[in-house]
Amino acid sequence: MQLKILKRNLQELKLEIEGEGHTFCNLLESVLLEDEDVEFAGYDVPHPLVSNTIIFIRTKKGKKPEEALIEAIEKIRKRGRELNQEISNALEEWKKKEGAP
pLDDT tens for 7-35 read: 999 999 999 999 888 889 999 999 999 99
Helix (H) or strand (E) run with residue 42 in it? strand 38-44
- Stretch 78-83: mean pLDDT: 97
- Stretch 56-65: mean pLDDT: 95
pLDDT of residue 98: 82
Separation CA 17–CA 54 (nearest Å): 6
pLDDT of residue 46: 83
CB count within 10 Å of CB 100 equals 8
Percent of the chain with pLDDT over 90: 73
Please, what are the domains in the chain? Answer: 2-98 (3.30.1360.10)
Q: How confident is residue 96, by pLDDT bands cut at 50, 70 and 90?
A: confident
Q: How confident is residue 47, by pLDDT bands cut at 50, 70 and 90?
A: confident
Residue 50, pLDDT above cutoff 80 = no
